[in-house]
Structure 1
């Protein structure tokens, strides 16, 4: 197993964990007799846990190395997956989700930081494809969960089996990860703070990521509602808006590294942004389901490579890869949380087209700031052979 394939498998496992738990929330709601308000409060716990965990991840990766940290944290998150369906009460369910978010945030940081280092050592873009593998894993986890729910399988049994499989796969992938090298982190770089917040150097990259994730979150959460209310789409066509957006984004991420190598990071962000702007204009002006779906498809295609490029640039711009990734991820995670409600408030106060006009404007800002993703000098460690295998601790 090559280092590239190993980290790709880690990304797929991470996505599968996320996809698995989301499909069984209805089972947990019924099992614990949760009303919508209580479930909504519980679902605030994962992002809170992630916000607590993310700023700590840089210190952990610096102390133990991104390879060891990724191996341990992805395994830990697979194990935590079993806790939410086992919760005996709403309070314990919230606690399990808090821990679930904590593990999600920390493992997300360390695996992306490790990917930045590997990309630097390989000398070519791989981050977009890795995020595409995350989407593949999420779709696979969600698909298995959907089949399990349809078959009426107890979520504790389904999730327990899935967790065991993913834990085994993550352990195998972990053995193939690139061994940490001192040249990846110069000796004179101080250890990150125990709770690392975004540095001033990372803020411009964070703003680009904020814009991309804001538009992505707004589109994903409101596509079906928009198509229903603005284009009079039926339930099937309305749902297709979300599905097409996500499939276009996943497919483009899987193929995106080729475009990044051809165009370069700055041009790739600009070109993608312009495609996303065209998609936004099409969404705003569409009055038929077909045009609306086409607009959301272009939005997904255009935004697909932006966040992987932002993470790469942040990892290379930070004092350490993990600290740079932590700073950007903290900002963009906040963007993903605020995008759905802000879109709803704009739609309620103005109109749905007006809300997506504002979202299109956010993408324009992203295009104007695209220069900040230009590669920085960064450290220059020795290249590695992609096909080599590193085993052991």
Structure 2
């Protein structure tokens, strides 16, 4: 394989991650408009968002085996087209049931491209002598930031939601199709390359579930920051709404910067250290948030929280995708799916606890979950591959 080909595939994978972050971000910034257009209540919207989450999880589980059977090179462009087509629909909805169908389609497309692009990222990473997974996830964040800018401009200009989402949906489809030609196929061993005396051992289910459990814990913690950082600053620390926005902003910026830096650090210290010390730093940062009476110290805590979490999930996804090249997509779908469940569960869990205990005290739950990464980080330690014997040698 030439050096130019993996480099082109790497850039192409960056583009797909950016497109996914862009599409999701556009939906998020237009939620208030869609809610008004359909005339639904906040509680009804919450229920429909669960539909989106369930559809995304289903899409992940479908995409994994498809990636293994047909290859990421074929699946990823198709997933991008599906996501772009689905982006049209929420802006066209005028009732709760129409929005529900739109989010079912959009969630499925989002889940499909999530597994497809992460699975292809693992394929590209194998062609490099160093870790590169975290940079792909950083591009997802860049896509979300780009969506926020586009949303601010179009909403400020009072462009109809249907027009904005439709144009951006077409853009997503076109870019997905044009970028697909630069993707590469996975290098999967043929049967004759494996040990002649016995078939290659499959990864233990316990190992897969443990990776998934850590992903669940880390992404649950991330979900808490997404939905509750600004509310904590406003309700617990008494800041203004504008100042409270810096709480999530400090987390998001630190998360993005950390993901761009993680690959170089991981090449030196390895994935075990990234997850162990990253989870420890995240736990320490959120502990500062829990006990800080000062706004700017809490913002520092959110920044440390984001920095600590930034590298953990990419390492987990990469480890899952490399457990078995023959079933890389299916294994990754399980780990990505469990992480996604955590991302959805985090805000709801904290919201439920906040009815009974102060919000900052409820944050001790994700602090405790960060300890899972500290304790079980060794699950990412490289395992020696079984010896391969080929007849005639």
Same fold? TM cut 0.5: yes
**Residues 276-322 of structure 1 deviation map (CA, whole Å, 9 limit, x = unaligned):** 12202211121111011110110000000000000001111145211
- SS state of the match for residue 39, structure 2? coil
Task: Give, in angstroms, the shift of residue 45 of structure 1.
Answer: 1.7
Q: Verify: 1:41 aligned to 2:47, yes or no.
A: yes
Please, which of 164, 167, 173 is the counterpart of residue 167 of structure 1?
A: 173
2-structure distance, mates of 1:131, 1:185: 33
CA contact (8 A) 1:185 1:320 kept: no
1:124 matched to which residue of 2? 130
2-structure distance, mates of 1:182, 1:210: 28
Q: Verify: 1:345 aligned to 2:352, yes or no.
A: yes
For structure 2, which runs of at least 5 residues remain unmatched after alignment? Answer: 1-6, 195-203, 388-393
1:387 matched to which residue of 2? none
Counting only pairs closer than 5 Å after superposition, residues 69-218 of structure 1 correspond to structure 2 as 69-183=75-189, 199-218=205-224
Please, which of 290, 301, 305 is the counterpart of residue 295 of structure 1?
A: 301
Normalising by the residue count of structure 2, what TM-score does the alignment of the two structures yield? 0.89
Let me know the Cα RMSD of the aligned residues. 2.1
**Residues 212-244 of structure 1 deviation map (CA, whole Å, 9 limit, x = unaligned):** 111111122111111122222221221110111
2-structure distance, mates of 1:308, 1:102: 22
Normalising by the residue count of structure 1, what TM-score does the alignment of the two structures yield? 0.89
Of 327-336 and 35-44, more deviation after overlay is shown by 35-44
> CA 1:128/1:244 → structure 2, altered by over 3 Å: closer, same or farther?
same
- SS state of the match for residue 131, structure 2? coil
CA contact (8 A) 2:84 2:171 kept: no
2-structure distance, mates of 1:123, 1:379: 21
> CA 1:155/1:353 → structure 2, altered by over 3 Å: closer, same or farther?
closer
2-structure distance, mates of 1:79, 1:376: 41
- SS state of the match for residue 369, structure 1? helix
Task: Give, in angstroms, the shift of residue 59 of structure 1.
Answer: 1.7
Please, which of 348, 369, 393 is the counterpart of residue 362 of structure 1?
A: 369
1-structure distance, mates of 2:224, 2:144: 19
Task: Give, in angstroms, the shift of residue 379 of structure 1.
Answer: 9.7
Q: Verify: 1:54 aligned to 2:67, yes or no.
A: no
For structure 1, which runs of at least 5 residues remain unmatched after alignment? Answer: 189-197, 381-393
CA contact (8 A) 2:62 2:112 kept: yes
1:65 matched to which residue of 2? 71
Task: Give, in angstroms, the shift of residue 339 of structure 1.
Answer: 0.9
CA contact (8 A) 2:350 2:362 kept: yes
2-structure distance, mates of 1:78, 1:187: 40
CA contact (8 A) 2:123 2:185 kept: no
Counting only pairs closer than 5 Å after superposition, residues 12-27 of structure 1 correspond to structure 2 as 12-27=18-33
2-structure distance, mates of 1:176, 1:355: 46
Task: Give, in angstroms, the shift of residue 90 of structure 1.
Answer: 1.8
Please, which of 226, 233, 253 is the counterpart of residue 232 of structure 2?
A: 226
CA contact (8 A) 1:249 1:304 kept: yes
- SS state of the match for residue 382, structure 2? coil
**Residues 260-289 of structure 1 deviation map (CA, whole Å, 9 limit, x = unaligned):** 112110011122122112202211121111
Task: Give, in angstroms, the shift of residue 184 of structure 1.
Answer: 8.6
CA contact (8 A) 1:276 1:302 kept: yes
2-structure distance, mates of 1:229, 1:53: 37
> CA 1:184/1:27 → structure 2, altered by over 3 Å: closer, same or farther?
farther
- SS state of the match for residue 306, structure 2? helix
CA contact (8 A) 2:68 2:328 kept: no
Task: Give, in angstroms, the shift of residue 71 of structure 1.
Answer: 1.3
1:373 matched to which residue of 2? 380
- SS state of the match for residue 251, structure 1? helix
Q: Which contiguous aligned blocks of 4+ residues in structure 1 show a shift greater than 6 angstroms?
A: 184-188
